[in-house]
Amino acid sequence: MQSIEDKVHQRILKVKRGNLLFPEDFHDLGSSEAIRLALHRLEKEKRIARVAQGIYVRPIISQYLGEVLPSAEEVAKGIAKRDRIRIVPTGVYALSALGLSTQVPMKLVFLSDGAARVVKIGKRTIKFKKTTPKSLLAKGKISSLVIQALREIKINNVTDSEEKKIVGLLKKENPIDLIHDIRLAPVWIQKIMKKAL
């Protein structure tokens, strides 16, 4: 008779290293309490690593760095996928993702249609802020980041070089998505985005 811990471990071994593991992934193997206990034991035995509360991983092993854990960005995307929510990076993180800031934000803030909450990952935090559905309607990956980055910079603070870089990035966006997303932006941001068409 295989223990729940063994069953959980067998399933984990089939998952690609680096992929996030949530207790929900094993719900068919036992009660939520038994699954939590099994994951806790497997972590103690160093078979998996705990990334954040209720989030585990079988780390990628690098010959130079040893165990490589998922980034905060990957964890945010993993949570969004698990909870079937949409997320959009905001603030300094949006600036950083576009290469407009070299600052690595310790706090990642995402607009979300899920519950508001904060997840701690080592020294970094991920904050999910509940927002209106309209804020999540942007289709383009680049254009949705641009809208949030420009909101962070604020009107009248955009330098010529920033604008040039933004327009250059937007030219790589799918034109149909870009036209769709321009309509969602405040008027002053629309003016900048239209320069990419």
**Do residues 85 and 134 share a domain?**
yes
**Do residues 61 and 94 share a domain?**
no
Considering only CA atoms, give the Rg of the chain. 20
**Do residues 81 and 173 share a domain?**
yes
* pLDDT of 138: 93
**Do residues 111 and 39 share a domain?**
no
Give the chain's end-to-end CA distance (angstroms, integer): 64
- Residue ranges of the chain with per-residue pLDDT less than 50: none
**Do residues 85 and 139 share a domain?**
yes
* pLDDT of 2: 79
**Do residues 61 and 86 share a domain?**
no
- The two beta strands, 117-121 and 124-130, are antiparallel
**Do residues 114 and 143 share a domain?**
yes
What's the CATH code of the domain at 33?
A: 1.10.10
Q: Which domain holds residue 84?
A: 72-194
What's the CA angle centered on 114, arms 112 and 117, to 5 degrees? Answer: 85
Predicted TM-score of the model (pTM) = 0.81
pLDDT per position as a tens digit, 151-197: 999 999 999 999 999 999 999 999 999 999 999 999 999 999 999 99
Helices vs. strands in the chain: H and E counts, helices first: 8, 9
**Do residues 102 and 60 share a domain?**
no
Total count of domains within the chain: 2
Helix (H) or strand (E) holding 51: strand 49-52
Compute φ and ψ for 57, nearest 5 degrees. -155, 150
**Do residues 80 and 99 share a domain?**
yes
